[in-house]
Structure 1
Amino acid sequence: MAAHEHWQMDASAPELYERYLVPAITSVWADDLLDRIEPEHGESVLDVACGTGVVARRLAERGHVGRLVGVDLNGAMLAIARAKSREVEWIEGSALGLPFASRSFDVVLCQLGLQFFPDRPQAVREIARVLRPSGRLGLSVYSSIERTPAAYAFVQALDKFLGAESSRTKRAEHLSCGADEVGNWVRQAGFDRAQVETVSKQISFPSALDYVRFQLTATPMAALLKGEDEAGRARLIAEIADDVAGRLDPSTLANGRLTFPQESFVVVASLC
């Protein structure tokens, strides 16, 4: 199986992802990234690994004037993006060989996508290639899964109920390296001014059950329950959610709502 094929979703998962996980998680990091980079009017902006397009769409909602492009390998995710916004050009393509001429963009953003690329330094080199001189990069990527309590509890529960390989997809959402290595990839790609900050955001779901349900229906992890009927899926989701809740500090479950810190490395860099 090719590296990217592991992340293809069926038609319903991207809709659920957009409905539940974008508001709870990715929109939080999208706003953080845009606040740091602040693209100016007239600048051309590329969103790499755009998914359903929250970064580019948020920028359009802020009134950005200039070319906006989102690129992603997953056609099903892009279909949601196209349905959500006509202000952005949505293009199917790989981060390892971006389908754009050199020096095409003033700003490149990559939110929570770098961890999925089979060759991360190559992806950063491609970003540098399509940036104009003095172009800017804004990038965020999850740090070690142990640094995000709910995710770490979730993978442990998956291993317990579904077997040791079941958590592989979730664990792959997080880097195993440190901030220094991320900074090295950026500097070696030609960015002379690069700042890497470790950032934590508070993420909230209505309950631990909802968190687990969305993970197992709105992401590629839905494949883990394909062999179960509706009753079997509901039972497993509830059992896993109970196990997750039991592993977390009670303070994260005040009034039944799940609220937890989620940690990422955030990069702001520019070319010579």
Structure 2
Amino acid sequence: MAQQEQWQLEGSAAELYERYLVPATTALWAADLVDRAAPQSGERVLDLACGTGVVARVAAERMEGGQVVGLDINTGMLAVARSLPTGAGPRIDWCEGSALEMPFTDSTFDLVLCQLGLQFFPDRSGALREMFRVLVPNGRLALSVFSAIDHTRAAKALADALDRHLGPGASATKRSEHSLADADELYRLVAGAGFRHVTQRSRVI
């Protein structure tokens, strides 16, 4: 093999995401989110915008029985999720579908988890109303969003570098990841969808 070929990355974007980003960062965030939500054995749990399924797998590991479902609109991400082994706990069902029109009946789940997905939905209020719809009365929602980019040094350095080297606006996509950093706006969105007893906590991981 030629030397310049040794460092070529093999695999789809979803495979590379699972191989590199999940162990380095998103698995840590998933453990924190699931710890806060505390799924119980016997509950029905939805991992919304599940990607390659790290949150669903962590939730299943915390449960001796029950149901875990991962929903995502990205076929490639779900293909990787289905290919990975699951540990102890209930089997995970992987479903393809939109957060804005979930393929579930009303009051299907006891707990909805959404890690870093809400800011990317084209209709955030609509997605939250769907989360409320599929939850049982007094069901629980646990979601995470990024803090302000100015409070996230690595992300800000990358965004600034993109603008500096590629031109103004090159970092727009990266900065959009932090578009729900305003606590008041987030509260209004969640409460406006019907949720009550809304609490917010900041965590550096």
Q: TM-score, normalised by structure 2?
A: 0.88
Match of 1:98 among 91, 96, 102: 102
Matched, 1:48 2:16: no
What is the match of residue 191 of structure 1? 195
Kindly indicate which of the two structures has a greater share of residues assigned to strand. Answer: 1
Root-mean-square deviation over aligned CA pairs: 1.4
Secondary structure in 1 matching 2:106: coil
Shift of 1:141: 0.6
Moved more, 160-169 or 128-137: 160-169
Pair 91,152 (structure 1): closer, same or farther in 2 beyond 3 Å: same
Which residue in 2 is equivalent to 1:57?
57
| From 134, 137, 140, the counterpart of 2:138 | 134
Task: Tell me the equivalent position of 2:183.
Answer: 179
Query: Contact between 1:179 and 1:198, CA under 8 Å: does it hold in 2?
Result: no
Q: 5 Å matches for 1:228-247?
A: none
Please state whether the residue corresponding to 1:56 is helix, strand or coil.
Answer: helix
Contact 2:119 2:180 in 1 (8 A): no
Deviation at 1:177, TM superposition (A): 4.7
Instruction: State the SS of the aligned residue for 1:106.
Output: strand
| Matching residue of 1:75 | 75
Distance 1:199 1:177 in 2: 13
Native 8 Å contact 1:71 1:92 kept in 2? yes
Could you tell me how far apart the structure 1 residues matched to 2:133 and 2:72 are?
Answer: 17
Match in the other structure for 1:200: 204
- CA–CA separation in structure 2 for the residues paired with 1:75 and 1:154: 28
The secondary structure found in structure 2 opposite 1:195 is coil
In 1, are the aligned partners of 2:146 and 2:180 still within 8 Å (CA)? no
Candidates 130, 147, 169, aligned match of 1:165: 169
Aligned residue pairs: how many?
Answer: 191
**What is the CA deviation profile of residues 103-153 of structure 1, one whole-angstrom value per residue up to 9, with x for unaligned ones?**
100000001111111111111111000000110010001122111100000
- C-alpha distance in structure 1 between counterparts of 2:39 and 2:180, whole Å: 30
Superposition deviation, residue 176 in structure 1 = 5.0
Match of 2:25 in 1: 25
2:6 corresponds to: none
Identity %: 56
5+ unaligned residues in a row in structure 2: which ranges?
A: 1-10
Deviation track 1:161-219 (CA, whole Å, cap 9, x = no partner) reads 22223212211211255111111111111112110112221xxxxxxxxxxxxxxxxxx
TM-score by length of 1: 0.67
Q: Which residue of 1 aligns with 2:38?
A: 38
**CA separation in 2, counterparts of 1:196 and 1:88?**
28
Greater helix share, 1 or 2?
1
CA separation in 1, counterparts of 2:61 and 2:43?
15
Opposite residue 95 of structure 2, the aligned amino acid is I
| 1:109 matches 2:113 | yes
Q: Cα gap change, 1:21/1:150 in structure 2, threshold over 3 Å: closer, same or farther?
A: same
